[in-house]
Amino acid sequence: MIGRMLAGSSNPPGLPGGGRDGLVYEAKDLFGLGQLSDFLWYALAALTVGSAAGVAFSRNIIYSAFSLLGTFLGAAAMYVYLAAPFVAITQVLIYIGGVLVLILFAVMLTSRIRDVQISNGSLAPLPGALGLLACAGLLGYVGGSTPWHEVARPEMIDQAQALGDGFLSTYLLPFEAASVVLLATLVASVVIARRETDEEEAAGRSEAADRGGAGTPPGAVRAGGRAAHGPPATEEV
Amino acid sequence: MLHVGLAHFLAVGALLFALGAYCVTTRKNAVGILMGVELILNAANVNFVAFGHYSWGGIHGQVFALFVIVLAAAEAAVGLAIVLTLYRHYKTIDVTRAERLEG
């Protein structure tokens, strides 16, 4: 309902309104602030883009991660303005509740927090900034100057029911493919990120010893980073 | 005062995409690169929903946005698992220093 009100009131007045959206125009007449939703939109867009700039330019990776929160929230607000509250809620649940927490976990697990300098170095920032300006300018110009086909009065649909119908009829095959992708992701991330068990490690060690020849001691063969954990034979599960 | 329309949302999407591309191309930190990818996917999502609302109608843009969100979650899970493995091997997630592929 909120999305319906906001999206409805952000349309130019004078266009024929839908029969079910009388509430919007009542509110507008009541307060005399037809532009209020536009002002709010500009504030939310500034939040979105400013937080994205914080993600891109911050020197500290933790500040970048927290700026990402503002970007995701601002994008969710954009969806509310576009009369897509279901997508907005999904954005909040999955991006903020899932992806952002995952990213924060990765940040905390992979940087030494006690170090003052948490590395977030940049590689060739000047060409990157030129590319940023060129990309934003070109895309903004194309988006602003092309005469897109716009419907005069965007329709407001019953979100969840229409989406559910679509997912189980028109988009059934992509829906099932997405579920298979999620299952594969679940298995793959566990396989990639887990530690090797003792038996596998012992098998790998004997294999390496076979390859290294009889003269080398078995501990010295594995010269990778895992040797820093200490002697592998005493590692606990 | 300009009324908010399709072009405004496209401008937000363009800025998000440009900032994400900057993030991806200039970061040394692997997690920072993944954050840039998230920005790019959000830009695409904003454009999908905006075109779906203003010029196509119906739910089609939103359906694509939802699929993008699902795939972004999958990408983040696998990408961060790879980053953790990288960190375990090299003790760093600086992508300029992880230059060997090793089985």
- Whether this model's ipTM surpasses 0.85 comes out as yes
Please answer yes or no on whether A226 and B88 come within 8 Å at the CB atom: yes
Please answer yes or no on whether A181 and B70 come within 8 Å at the CB atom: yes
Strand, helix or coil for residue A136: helix
Kindly report the CATH class assigned to B6-90. mainly alpha
Instruction: Kindly list the domain boundaries of chain B, sorted by start residue.
Output: 6-90
Instruction: Kindly list the domain boundaries of chain A, sorted by start residue.
Output: 1-113+154-159
pLDDT in tens, chain A (237 residues): 444 444 444 444 444 444 444 444 444 443 445 578 888 999 999 999 999 999 998 888 888 999 999 999 999 999 999 889 999 999 999 999 999 999 998 888 877 655 445 555 667 778 888 989 999 999 989 988 888 887 777 677 777 888 999 999 999 999 999 999 999 999 998 888 887 776 766 776 676 666 655 444 444 444 444 444 444 444 433
Determine the Cα–Cα distance for residues B71 and B46; give it in Å rounded to an integer: 15
DSSP-assigned beta bridge partners for residue A122: B27
Please answer yes or no on whether A185 and B74 come within 8 Å at the CB atom: yes
Amino acid identity at A177: A
Is B55 an interface residue toward A (CB < 8 Å)?
yes
Using CB atoms, pick whichever of B23, B57, B87 lies closest to residue A151: B57
Main-chain dihedrals φ then ψ at residue A10, nearest 5 degrees: -90, 0
Specify whether the CB–CB gap between B27 and A123 falls below 8 A: yes
- Number of other CB atoms surrounding residue B99 within 10 Å: 7
Question: Which of B 73-102 lie inside 8 A of A, CB atoms?
Answer: 73-74, 76-78, 80-85, 87-91, 93-94, 96, 102
